[in-house]
Amino acid sequence: LALVEKISSSNRFFHWELCFADIFSRREGFDLVLGNPPWIKLTWSEAGVLADRDPKLSIRSYSATKMAAERLISFNKYSGLLDTWLTDLVQAEGGQSFLSASTNYQALSGAKSNLYKAFLPLSWGLSAELGVSGFVHPEGVYDDPKGGRLRSQVYRRLTSHFQFQNERAL
């Protein structure tokens, strides 16, 4: 139980149904869900993690063999780097696995995973039967060649789609 608490605390899990149990028991979900979800793809960047201690590792284009050697040197040279490296690797791989698991996000199956895409089916599950959701997000939902399953679910729910052009370069 202590380990579960530690993992939950460090990853900041949020359980909507538990935190808003009164809403879900009375109304079966939210009437309105709005958001500007993070537009990031969960990827593992070994050089990025190592470069926090040794910037040259992200500047230079090392082969995989050279990067492996530099990694070992860095682990020995910088205290705590191995723990940081492992934590970041586990979070990136775990996040990718979670988002691409069809049991978690069936609509994302086959599509390029991105956090903002995961917010769409999440909001549908959190919304009441007549609930409305609105998000600011890139067009990747509409043009991902492998995103047909997600797109079909989006189109069933789509009532308005707005595009904005930053004409003043703000």
pLDDT tens, residue by residue, 124-155? 999 998 999 999 998 888 989 988 999 999 99
Is the pTM higher than 0.95? The answer reads: no
> By percentage, how much of the chain surpasses pLDDT 90?
42
Q: What is the dihedral of CA 90, 96, 102, 108, to 10 degrees?
A: 160
Give the integer Cα–Cα distance in Å for 126 and 119: 10
Q: Is the pLDDT of residue 72 over 90?
A: yes
**DSSP label at residue 168:** T
CA 15 vs CA 20, 21, 76, 122, 126: distances in Å: 8, 10, 39, 11, 11
Of 47-51, 71-75, 94-98, 136-140, give the lowest mean pLDDT range.
94-98
Confidence of residue 77 (pLDDT cuts 50, 70, 90): very high
pLDDT tens, residue by residue, 27-69? 889 999 999 998 888 888 888 899 999 898 888 888 889 999 9
Closest Cα partner for 135 from 35, 32, 30? 35
Q: How many CA atoms lie within 13 A of 55 on its CB side?
A: 0
State the pLDDT at residue 131.
92
| Mean pLDDT, the chain, whole residue set | 88
State the pLDDT at residue 101.
84
State the pLDDT at residue 94.
86
Give the integer Cα–Cα distance in Å for 17 and 26: 12
